[in-house]
Amino acid sequence: MKRILVFLLLLTSAAAFAGTVKVGALFSVTGPAGYLGLPEKQTVEMLVEQVNAAGGINGDKVELVFYDTQGDENRTLSYFKRLVTKDKVAVVLGPTRTGSTLVIKDLAGKFGIPLISCATSQQIVTPVNKFVFKTAQSDTLVVEKLFAHLVSKGKKKIAIITEQSGYGTTGRDALLEVAPKFGVDIVIEEKFRDTDKDMTSQLAKIKAAGVDAVICWGVGPAPAIIARNAKALGMDNIYMTQGAASARFIELAGDAADGIKLTAGRIIVADQLAEGDRYKKVLIDYKKNFESKFNAPVSAFGGHAYDAFHIFKIAYENAKGDFKKLPAELEKVKGFIGIAGEFNMSASDHTGLTKDAFVIVEIKNGKFVLAE
């Protein structure tokens, strides 16, 4: 009798889903970008659990297939091929980093598998590839937001210090390209590697140049080192990007983080948004769910994965489970209020965000505070 009951329970459980859809995920959970990729992985795991508990997508159970890229481009390339050829996934979410995304961008088109990256560079979606999308706000939009803010404060003589990586390189290109449009003068530029342990020499040159502000473009531990080095040199007016928009950056930088301003998604200041703000409910719900499940602070990076999964979910629902229709349905996603902002995809825009997806925040007493 017990065997019969167990069999019936298994049969009932199996019958609860019409089929299975495999979702691939490539995030940098270890390595220099580990604190970016870990919340991305955790977020997708949480969402898959929630969706399956609610009956799946179109009745199909979601099966997550994840690989840790460690931020390494060769690993990313190998794992992407495995996801497509061996695991037979319907979509790939991630990678975490720009360089890792760019090495597999063309393969997504070759294999005909939608890729929804969580990295920043505009180069990921320019020129448009039918199968490649992204959810992180583009570096060009970051620059426009930063320059508009700086010019409004009378700061036009700017120094830039950028990471020698895919993220840093495309960020540097955007800074140099957009500066003339805002009347910004890039007086001096320096570079650093994400493994560097001291940037005092670069910052000393920048200090001597007498600029109005410094923009640091990087992710991982290095920007925190720059914050500490800048404080030791008595430098202020340091600006960073969403690459520093996490509690981990503040932890690494210590009191040197105070006073730094940066572009960021609203998630890190969700509690400070006005009542009635159209993004607030989505942000607060995600924040509560994530922090209660993982006992860790929410970050914008996990938000990129949240948006990637939901954009896929919308497209899969509208495609009625037909994988071949996914790219076209991804392009039709409109009015989706996500963690980064409102997404309006199109055939010519595979990010679907504007510079309104950003706010300017300042770090005060070890906390992110809405500044603009």
Q: Using CB atoms within 10 A of its CB, is residue 207 exposed (0-12), middle (13-18) or buried (19+)? A: middle
- Between CA 26 and CA 74 the distance in angstroms is 12
Per the CB < 8 A criterion, the answer to whether 329 and 319 are in contact is yes
Per the CB < 8 A criterion, the answer to whether 92 and 116 are in contact is yes
**Tens of each residue's pLDDT in the chain, 372 residues:** 545 444 444 444 444 688 999 999 999 999 877 888 999 999 999 999 999 999 999 999 999 999 999 999 999 999 999 999 999 999 999 999 989 999 999 999 999 999 999 998 889 999 999 999 999 988 888 999 999 999 999 999 999 999 998 888 989 999 999 999 999 999 999 999 988 999 999 999 999 999 999 999 998 899 999 999 999 999 999 999 988 888 889 999 999 999 999 998 899 999 999 999 999 999 999 999 999 999 999 988 999 999 999 999 999 999 998 999 999 999 999 999 999 999 999 999 999 998 888 899 999 999 999 997
pLDDT at 33 (0 to 100): 78
- Between CA 108 and CA 80 the distance in angstroms is 9
pLDDT at 220 (0 to 100): 81
Per the CB < 8 A criterion, the answer to whether 303 and 136 are in contact is no
Per the CB < 8 A criterion, the answer to whether 360 and 262 are in contact is yes
Query: Collapsing DSSP states into helix, strand and coil, what is residue 3?
Result: helix
Domain ranges of the chain: 2-137+283-353, 139-264
Cis check: omega of the bond before 327, within 30 degrees of 0? no
Question: In CATH terms, are 2-137+283-353 and 139-264 the same topology?
Answer: yes
Compute how many other C-beta atoms are within 10 angstroms of the C-beta atom of residue 153: 12
- Between CA 299 and CA 26 the distance in angstroms is 18
For the whole model, what pTM was predicted? 0.86
61: enclosing H helix or E strand: strand 60-68
Residue type, 187: V
DSSP state of 193: -
Measured CA to CA in angstroms, residue 223 lies from 191, 192, 216, 242, 257 at distances of: 12, 10, 7, 11, 10
pLDDT at 215 (0 to 100): 98
- Between CA 310 and CA 329 the distance in angstroms is 13
- CA nearest neighbour of 150 among 71, 262, 254, 46: 262
- Between CA 103 and CA 118 the distance in angstroms is 14
Q: Which fold has domain 139-264?
A: Rossmann fold (3.40.50)
The strand pairing partners of 188, in sequence order, are 159
The yes or no reply on domain 2-137+283-353 and CATH 3.40.50.2300 is yes
- Between CA 105 and CA 99 the distance in angstroms is 10
pLDDT at 210 (0 to 100): 97
Per-residue HEC secondary structure of the chain comes to: CHHHHHHHHHHHHHHCCCEEEEEEEEECCCCCCHHHHHHHHHHHHHHHHHHHHCCCECCEEEEEEEEECCCCHHHHHHHHHHHHHCCCCCEEECCCCHHHHHCCHHHHHHHCCCEEECCCCHHHCCCCCCCEEECCCCHHHHHHHHHHHHHHCCCCEEEEEEECCHHHHHHHHHHHHHHHHHCCEEEEEEEECCCCCCCHHHHHHHHHCCCCEEEEECCCCHHHHHHHHHHHCCCCCEEECHHHCCHHHHHHHHHHHCCCEEEECHHHHHHHCCCCCCCHHHHHHHHHHHHHHHCCCCCHHHHHHHHHHHHHHHHHHHHCCCHHHHHHHHHCCCCEECCCCEECCCCCCCCCCCHHHCEEEEEECCEEEECC
